[in-house]
Amino acid sequence: MKSYYVYILLCADGLTYTGITCNLARRLEEHQHGLNKDSFTYKRRPIKLIFQQQFNDVLQAIYFEKKIKKWSAQKKLALARGNFDLLQILTECRNASHYKYKPECE
């Protein structure tokens, strides 16, 4: 059975990169050695792998990657550190229109 990996890299400039691959070791080498000059990580090396999640279903891996690519760097770092309490706090909606912030009718 083929495995797929969603991963998060921490770049030298503090930015994060999220990707998907079926060969994590090869992909990390590509990032680290800067094989593609147009790559997001090329000028941000060295990179450090801070999170990886293995999937057996490519569609689940793609869904998860697309989901976390939209996250803030804070949320990605909380996930990587296993800080699920902070991840929950960062996930909560804080818009003034959110139901938690509407005054109750009397």
Q: Does 106 reside within a domain?
A: no
The answer to whether residue 19 sits within a structural domain is yes
Report if residue 24 sits inside a domain: yes
54-66 per-position pLDDT tens digit = 999 999 999 999 9
Show the domain range for 95.
4-101
Q: Report if residue 83 sits inside a domain.
A: yes
Q: Has residue 65 been placed in a domain? A: yes
Pairing mode, strands 4-11 and 16-21: antiparallel
Q: pLDDT by residue (tens digit) across 85-101? A: 998 888 886 666 656 65
What mean pLDDT is reported for the chain?
90
Total structural domains in the chain? 1
Tell me which amino acid residue 81 is: R
**CATH, residue 27:** 3.40.1440
Q: What is the pLDDT of residue 92?
A: 80
Residues 10, 29, 67, 14, Cα dihedral to 10°: 10
